[in-house]
Amino acid sequence: GELPERLRSTVKRRNNVLGPGYALNYREPVEFVSGRGAHLFDRDGNDYLDAYNNVPCVGHAHPHVVEAVSRQMAAVNTNTRYVQESLVDYAERLLATMPEALSRVSFACSGSEANDLAMRVARFHTGGEGIVVTRWAYHGLTREVASFSPTLGAGSPLGPNVRLIDAPDPRLVPPGSSLPDYMRSQVRGAINDLERHGYRLAALITDCAHSSDGLFTDPVGYLRDMVEEVHAAGGVYIADEVQSGFARLGESMWGFSRHGVLPDIVTMGKPMGNGMPISGVVFRPEVCDEFGQNVRYFNTFAGSSIAVAAGAAVLDVFEAENVQQRVLDNGRALRAGLEEITRESPYVAEVRGSGLYVGVELVKDRESLEPDRVRADHVINDMRERRVLISGTGEAVNVLKIRPPLAFDAADVTRFLETFAEIAEMRL
């Protein structure tokens, strides 16, 4: 369709003023001026169903978060160089959601900053430099973190101290092996290769949902084997919970818990403040104490009163609205519906995921499993035309990425499935 004139003009002006690297979602871009729950509204008041954005986790413009931030903003905004009772309260509440051994938390402003600090601490603690990540991982945008984020393109090379392993896709496991054995042997191989090149291991870092790799959440358990290899080599395990944290996967507050492992460092961000820039790095004290005695850490905006107000308000809503149980229930219904709709399709290899994070892998046919990026692109844009927002993921961008605000309710599931069924009729 025709872009309305005002939107077309904004897109043009945008291209004249924004720096490099920006991209817009959808063939027909869209502008939103308000939101509620899992719904977004354009200037004409059209209601879009948001099945993509994980940052507004408790819902767009959630009144409790808005109120808490506004009240704090109107009172005062200070930083971590002053005593802030609210910061300490929040840190205690956040740590209470973790295993006891993870008992220190530092604050930052983005997932990238959190991973940057996590890796600095890992390097300091281990004295090593080697880093192991999955083949199509994204961990962030600073120079250090970009050096172990293979998704950033040819202009952003990996560090010589970085080794890639396959994501935990059960279909890659060689005959006679198992997923845990396969993942363990890949980690061992990467560590050996690093050592051959003079790099001792600093850290294995993985996204507990493997979002950019194409969303691999199950079966769980293999992480235990990977972490054992890492510890045997003197490295640390960093769980990147920027995507998988805050009950996204339904069964637990944190993705690593599903695997029954204890990370050395945990990073989190995106949904933490429902849109306020706040991220966190949680440590075992043994891993971070010496860093703290030798390196000063002050991050101007991190742990500010308003960031903490947002973070605490999110935890309030999690408790008051029983968010995790809702994620489990609605996620199950969403996946079951998608399985039902796509069961007969020759183009759908798999519906996978956990909680309110669902991937639908599109292929040219079920025998070759060759990725079908074009079909995925059509489905994503067809859904957008019917005002339902999703995206794509995986190296070939052939996995439909369905990752709504956790406020997605039963009526939203129904609307989503009705729209998806209409598109599937044409495309799948």
Residues that bind ligand PMP (CB under 6 A): 110-112, 115, 138-141, 207, 211, 240, 242-243, 269-270
Compare residues 275 and 371 and give the one whose CB is closer to ligand PMP.
275
Compare residues 80 and 211 and give the one whose CB is closer to ligand PMP.
211
Q: How far out from the chain centre does Cα 218 lie? A: 16
Parallel, antiparallel or unpaired: strands 39-41 and 34-36:
antiparallel
Compare residues 213 and 372 and give the one whose CB is closer to ligand PMP.
213
Compare residues 140 and 280 and give the one whose CB is closer to ligand PMP.
140
Residue 240 CB, shortest distance to ligand PMP, in Å, is 5
Vertex 237: Cα angle to 405 and 216 (nearest 5): 45
Residue 207 CB, shortest distance to ligand PMP, in Å, is 4
Residue 111 CB, shortest distance to ligand PMP, in Å, is 2
Residue 164 CB, shortest distance to ligand PMP, in Å, is 15
Compare residues 138 and 291 and give the one whose CB is closer to ligand PMP.
138
Residue 211 CB, shortest distance to ligand PMP, in Å, is 6
Compare residues 169 and 372 and give the one whose CB is closer to ligand PMP.
169
213/396 Cα distance (integer angstroms): 9
Compare residues 270 and 284 and give the one whose CB is closer to ligand PMP.
270
C-beta nearest to ligand PMP: residue? 111
Residue 267 CB, shortest distance to ligand PMP, in Å, is 7
Residue 166 CB, shortest distance to ligand PMP, in Å, is 17
Compare residues 266 and 309 and give the one whose CB is closer to ligand PMP.
266
From the number of C-beta atoms within 10 Å of its C-beta (0-12, 13-18, 19+), residue 255 rates as buried
Residue 109 CB, shortest distance to ligand PMP, in Å, is 8
Residue 280 CB, shortest distance to ligand PMP, in Å, is 11
Compare residues 225 and 240 and give the one whose CB is closer to ligand PMP.
240
